[in-house]
A = this chain, B = another copy of it.
């Protein structure tokens, strides 16, 4: 196992130190070693955006701290939930008195720890509401949406929630927009090689060479089926066949597409898959307003890709187009320069 670490048991601590040193123009440490915050958080007059999750998913989760994005993030061990204390401390760091939107993914540990943190936050007078991302089509049937996991669609949820908060929406407005973002979003992943947690030293799940696992989770959770490895175009078709009927997406829809690598799959291959994705969407009369392709939500050096599609309306589009500045997502302009100029004025917070 060719891992570049010091003590594998302290990989998260060591990573956080390097991350803060690298990005001091955007993030700041807090008194809680497992919470990082936007350097200007809490932002006066703005609803705070909090998330959190296990480590190993770079740039998620701390890479989405920044202007018009998340204000504070709770950091867990590799592939495991942050503690309730970390979530609580993140809520404290993000709250300017306008309340906190905690936008996170549907995993048992995160659910439990966020709930505990919310009870304590309430006692401290911090109002917290949540959106629990459940965009992974493969993790439960359509009639059990509440059992589905959150995956790369979380990035779009943070983008929308972060933008809405910066536009001056109140807590209910931010929650409604972020909830709509994830309700309009469907994802699925295909894995082609597993990954190794440094402190474990060997993969804790298997994907045989020459095969692919359709619907695999971000931590190696079992997918729908295992097949011989297909071509990039066939993989695109397979993922779209799962995603499109699920919402469903229909002719005339305008969408955002996020195609992420799982870590070690070259970005070159991700573009090859994306080429077919946009082709199929065009054939179906679905137009892509904006596409993100790259390593947006990874699982260490797992190989494979995830596909996320979000159906837009005017509100979501305005949020997606807003400029933002985080490590994992930097956006200087929307597709329409006029909109950009208007939105830049939104993002000049009074605080």
Contact = CB atoms under 8 A, between A and B. Distances in A.
Given A5-B272, A263-B264, A18 B55 contact: no
Nearest to A67: B332
Contacts of A325: 332-333
A183 to B, nearest CB: 25
A295 interface: yes
Interface stretch (A115-123, A133-141, A300-308, A309-317): A300-308
A11 B274 contact: no
Contact of A303 (B2, B22, B295): B2
DSSP class of A's interface residues: helix, strand, loop or mixed?
mixed
* This chain: copies in complex: 2
Contacts of A233: 6
Interface in A268-301: 268-275, 278, 288, 291-293, 295, 298, 300-301
A233 B17 CA distance: 13
Interface of A: 1-6, 11, 14-19, 21-22, 25, 55-56, 58-59, 192-193, 207, 209-210, 212, 229, 231-233, 235, 263-275, 278, 288, 291-293, 295, 298, 300-301, 303-305, 323, 325, 330-333, 335
15 contacts: A1-B209, A4-B265, A4-B273, A4-B305, A5-B232, A6-B231, A11-B268, A14-B232, A18-B293, A25-B333, A56-B268, A263-B266, A266-B298, A266-B301, A268-B300
